[in-house]
Every structure is written in C-alpha cells, then in structure tokens.
Structure 1
Amino acid sequence: MDKIVFATRNQGKIREIREIFRGIPVMTMDEAGVHIEIEETGTTFEENALLKARDVFRALSSSAENALVMSDDSGIEIDFLGGEPGVYSARFLGVDTPYEIKNRIILEKLAEAKGEARSARYVCAIAAVAPDGREVCLRQTVEGFISEEPAGNGGFGYDPIFFVPEYGKTMAQLRPEEKNQISHRGKALRKMRDQLERELLCNKRGRE
C-alpha cells in the first residue's frame, strides 16, 4: 500500500484523515483522477460507505493500483426526530442548503424538547478496499445532545449544534486535536488504521 485514496471531496473531512494517517499520503478522489458522481442508495451508513469505496476502487487508474481506497458515510441521529436525518444527513433539506440553515431548522424542530429528550449521536461507518480487493467495514459513534443554539466556529456540518457533555462544549468549540480524539470519524479512522496495521503486519509475516 503506497497511498490512500479517500472517496470524498470534503476538505474538512480530508484534513481529519491526513492528521490520523500521518506518514501515508492521502489523496482525495479528485486528486487521484476519479471524477465520478456516486449515488448513495444504501439504507445504512455501512452500505453507503462500501458503495462509495467500491465505485472509486473500480474507477482508479493503473497509476494508483497500489492504493488503498477508503470511504466513510456519516451523519447525525436525533432521537427526538426518530433518528433523522440519519443516512440523509448530507442531503437533509437539499445538498446545496447551507448548514447554517439546516442547523437552524433542526433547532426549530426541537424547540419543545428539553434535557435528555435532545439526545443525539454522530455515526460514522468507514469502509476500505485493499489493492487485492479485500474489504473491511466498521462503525463508531459519539453520544451527545443537540444544543439550544449554535456555538463555535470550528469543525463543519452539524458541529455547532452537537453538544459534547464531557467537554461542556459543542463539537465546533473543540480544538482540532480534541475533536479528533472523540469524534465518530476520528474513532472510526483510528480503529481502521489499527486494524489495517495488524492485517498488513500479519500478511508480511506470513510471506517471510
């Protein structure tokens, strides 16, 4: 494995990935020459993550043939809304709708919810397709609450309204290193990194 190609065009997401996979070149799909549009037709985070990783794997040119392809599907589940927006988090109210508006609408929907009724979680499924076609998929979550109002300028997406009780702050108020330690994506990426390292080490020993 010479590099990782991550099936995303989201620069905020790719910064998190590069921070965790230090020492390994990480490319976006565009940087790897993959300009396809991927339709997320899965009904679970895992299905969508695998779908994206497989599509990019098939579309890679021979110049990236020794690349590991990774993808994630993540979102926020809000208990008061029956788990919505869930797998539709990125498409909630339309993909081009600014998150400032999405967050405001969610706060309006939760106007009558108080305390524990505002419970929510971030979910992230990470999928990887190895150069030899093997697949790995795993899930991690982080529990929290929807805040009463947006706070913080860091992060992206729903971070300004996702309150992390352990820190007494929203995800958008955390320092990048703090967020990477507790975030759903950070936890899933570290778990994937550790699993890949174990498998690669075992494969290497098996060939010796």
Structure 2
Amino acid sequence: MTRPQTLILATRNQGKVKELRAPLARFGFDVQSLPDDFPEVAETGSTFEENALIKAHAVADALLVPAVADDSGIEVDALGGAPGVYSARYSLDWPEVEGESTDERNNRKLLAALEGVSAEKRTARFRCCMALVYPSSWENRPEDVVVSGSWEGSIVEKPSGSNGFGYDPLFLDPASGRTGAELSREEKMARSHRGKALERLLEVLTSRIA
C-alpha cells in the first residue's frame, strides 16, 4: 500500500486541519498542521492571492513537502473594501481593553467605523484565497493551484453568536438570517468563502487524476 504524501497546512488551527484532512486524504495526502517551531511568515502581499502563495511557498520550500495556505478577510463596501487583507490586524492602532481579544477589538473598530451607516449600505463579503504548492526543488513539480471563494452578506449593528471566530459575530448570512457565529460549523462550511475555496481546490485535484 502506498504511503500517503505528507501535506502541511500552513496553520496551527486544528479546526482547519480537521476540516481539510478527510477531503484531501482522498487524493493521497496526510494533512498535518504547521510545526510549532516554524517561524511566522510575513504577509507582505497586497492581495489575498499573493499572501496565500507567499505562505504556501515558504512552508513547502522549508519543509520539502506540498503545502496549502489560505488568506482571507472581510471587505466592507461602505469602507471602500476595508479592512481587506488587513482584516486580522485591523485594530493594531487601537488601544487595548483589558480582557479583550484581538477579534473583539477588530469587531469594535469595525462597528465604530460603520456608526451611522444605514443597514442597506452595510453590505460586505468574506473572501478566501487558497493555494496548494509543491517544493521549488522538486523536478517535474505540479503547477501551483490557486482558488478562491466569497460569501456575500452584511454587517449587523452588534455582535451575535458564540461560534466561529474573527468577524463572524458581525457578519449576517442573508440565506439563513443568522450571523456567521450563529451557524454550526457544518452550516458555515456549506456557505462560507473558505468552504467554497476548498470545494474548488478539490475540483482541480479531481481533474488532475481523471
């Protein structure tokens, strides 16, 4: 029996690893998380695609195994598409409140930026770009795979829900009438930007072995 090819997911989030392990195992991959001692990769790109590729190439070339990385964020139309690629570090310039997480501070800043903006103008979307790359040193290495997905919705006026992470408590999914943080993991994956990007990645891998 052929031993599965190790694939590193460029994250230490075990939830993401769990979600991707079973789907990618069908293509001969043993999905593992990023080693604890792997240095932080600077996200210097100006787009989600650039950042996903930067992270995936850094991991693949350092560990000499295929790697998948994703970069995602939220774009708010009333803010000209901000925070976009800066979503995770949106509130770095804001004073910290004792006991407040980075996610909570990001959400607080976003709500402040949208104060006074009417509901119909609070449209937004989550975007995710996912990249699968192979080590540059490999001969006859497969081409990079870059896919993306988006999730349209709007920003509510106050956080709601305890599931998910990031901006999920503020993001209203129009199909269900609930925020991302009020959806179960399964419901979110069926609708979300990351779920759609994963679906497209699996479609590309399926076409390669067809």
Q: TM-score range by the shorter chain?
A: 0.7 to 0.9
What TM-score, normalized to structure 2? Answer: 0.84
Counterpart contact for 1:49–1:73, Cα < 8 Å: yes
Tell me the distance in 2 between the aligned counterparts of 1:59 and 1:121.
33
The reply on whether 1:173 has 2:177 as its aligned counterpart is: no
Counterpart contact for 1:12–1:155, Cα < 8 Å: no
Residues 117-145 of structure 1: CA deviation (Å, up to 9, x unaligned): 10000000011113625211121101000
Q: Percent identity?
A: 44
Residues 130-175 of structure 1: CA deviation (Å, up to 9, x unaligned): 3625211121101000011101111111111010010000001001
| Matched letter for residue 13 of structure 1 | K
Structure 1 pair 197–68 and aligned structure 2 pair: CA distance change class (3 A): farther
After TM superposition, the runs of 4+ consecutive aligned structure 1 residues lying more than 4 A away are none
The reply on whether 1:29 has 2:38 as its aligned counterpart is: no
The reply on whether 1:16 has 2:19 as its aligned counterpart is: yes
Counterpart contact for 1:125–1:139, Cα < 8 Å: yes
Aligned-pair Cα RMSD in Å: 2.1
What TM-score, normalized to structure 1? Answer: 0.85
Q: CA deviation at 1:77?
A: 0.4
Q: CA deviation at 1:92?
A: 1.1
In structure 2, the residue matched to 1:73 is 71
Tell me the matched-pair count.
194
Q: CA deviation at 1:190?
A: 1.4
| Matched letter for residue 5 of structure 2 | D
- Please give the residue correspondences for 1:100-179 in structure 2 after superposition, counting only pairs within 5 Å: 100-130=104-134, 132=141, 134-179=143-188
In structure 1, the residue matched to 2:60 is 57
From 39, 43, 46, give the equivalent of 2:42.
Answer: 39
**Ranges in structure 2 where 5+ consecutive residues have no aligned partner:** 136-140
1:89 aligned counterpart, secondary structure: helix
**Ranges in structure 1 where 5+ consecutive residues have no aligned partner:** 203-208
1:87 aligned counterpart, secondary structure: helix
In structure 1, the residue matched to 2:201 is 192
In structure 1, the residue matched to 2:90 is 92
